[in-house]
Structure 1
Amino acid sequence: MAHDAELAERVRTALSGRDVREVRMFGGLAFMVDEKMVACVSGGGGALLVRVSRSRDAEYLGVPGARRAEMGRGRSMGEGWIAVDDEALAGDHDLQFWVDAVLAHHAEQAAGR
């Protein structure tokens, strides 16, 4: 399945200034910061897969348009993996919220927390 090219460009812009590598993964286009996946853009309305802090997982699941990510039907990816619906990413501030969340988690991992 092809990824959403417009959303990928928005994510690319939001991550500009960082060491980012793009890799085809999970049926979409994954964004790797310092060789760790922070987000993946898919197509077909799946929109954005994000990797966030497990300690804030429940909080993030309460955000409209967020749901537990699944790897195949009914197979949860577990805490810290969230899928964000396309409609919930309409504005740049909506996307920036999730980019900030993934970068906060990335910083925690880098600090060894």
Structure 2
Amino acid sequence: MAYNEFLADRIAQFFREKSVPFEARKMMGGLCFMVDGKMCVGVTRDELMARIDPEMYESLLQRPGCKEMNFTGRPMKGFVFLTDDATDLDVDLNEWLQLALDFNPKAKASKKRKKKS
């Protein structure tokens, strides 16, 4: 299992309950949840990746179970990884998911890659 399927199911359930249209895509060795064509949250192994408002980034890093996302050797401001300490309880998971949803309208979509002919 490349990602925690139970956590992915909890995320999908949250979006369905909120009537948020989403698309789940396998990428980066995990599962990414796209909202309005933009990466919103994802699951990598047993951690939740959330795209949050960069203005809240530093303060949110102080919360239990929250750490910087660092794929390339440099932290990506506005993206965090959340461990079980931050997502075990539904109320905590839902708060993080809502933070990501709240930022989604302000997030920039990644550039579409041109298909090679």
Query: Is the structural similarity TM-score above 0.5?
Result: yes
Which residue number in structure 2 is paired with residue 86 of structure 1?
Answer: 84
Where does structure 1 lack aligned partners over 5 or more consecutive residues? none
Which residue number in structure 1 is paired with residue 15 of structure 2?
Answer: 15
RMSD: 1.5
Where does structure 2 lack aligned partners over 5 or more consecutive residues? 109-117
Q: CA separation in 2, counterparts of 1:68 and 1:109?
A: 18
* CA deviation vs aligned residue, 1:47-80 (integer Å, no higher than 9, x gap): 11111111110111111100001115xx134210
Cα distance, 1:99–1:91 mapped onto 2, change above 3 Å: same
Q: How many residues matched?
A: 106
Q: CA separation in 2, counterparts of 1:5 and 1:109?
A: 26
TM-score (norm. length: structure 1): 0.86
Misfit runs of 4+, over 3 Å: none
